[in-house]
């Protein structure tokens, strides 16, 4: 999983044209969708989750699990496809997960996930598209 799209928007205007209002709010303004509302929360199909902003491959369905947190959760991610940043918003210190290709906000990663990584990538459904295998 390392395919990167080449048609990533360069301006805010292009992003606004490409994304829905909710996708823009989450991906470009670091928003969060309401818990238990995302279309991918209960998805169990085999496939690949890609960035809704640029199409970069992000998560394999084999690493998805039910963390009962209200958002899709994954225990592993190819490091070349995502980056992490310190997030100090809302009076908290968290680790933000962003798309390495377009910088879109995906969610956060926590150290309370299952083995083998112990990680919980807690990701907004609206930040993802799904491609069947």
Known catalytic residues are 122
- Measured distance CA(23)–CA(37) in Å, rounded: 14
- Measured distance CA(21)–CA(44) in Å, rounded: 27
Q: Which two tokens stand for residue 29?
A: 């303004």
| Residues 65/114, Cβ–Cβ less than 8 Å | yes
Q: Which two tokens stand for residue 17?
A: 């044209």
Element (H, E) at 109: strand 105-110
């Amino acid at each position: 999983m390392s395919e990167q799209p080449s048609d990533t928007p360069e301006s805010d205007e292009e992003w606004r044209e490409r994304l829905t209002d909710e996708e823009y709010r989450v991906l470009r303004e670091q928003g969060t969708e309401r818990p238990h509302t995302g279309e991918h929360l209960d998805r169990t199909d085999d496939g690949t989750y890609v960035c809704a902003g640029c199409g970069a491959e992000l998560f394999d369905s084999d690493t998805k699990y039910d963390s009962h947190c209200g958002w899709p959760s994954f225990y592993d991610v190819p490091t070349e496809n995502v980056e992490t940043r310190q997030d100090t918003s809302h009076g908290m210190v968290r680790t933000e997960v962003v798309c390495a290709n377009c910088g879109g906000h995906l969610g956060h990663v926590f150290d309370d996930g299952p083995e083998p990584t112990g990680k919980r990538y807690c990701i907004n459904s609206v930040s993802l598209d799904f491609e069947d295998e």
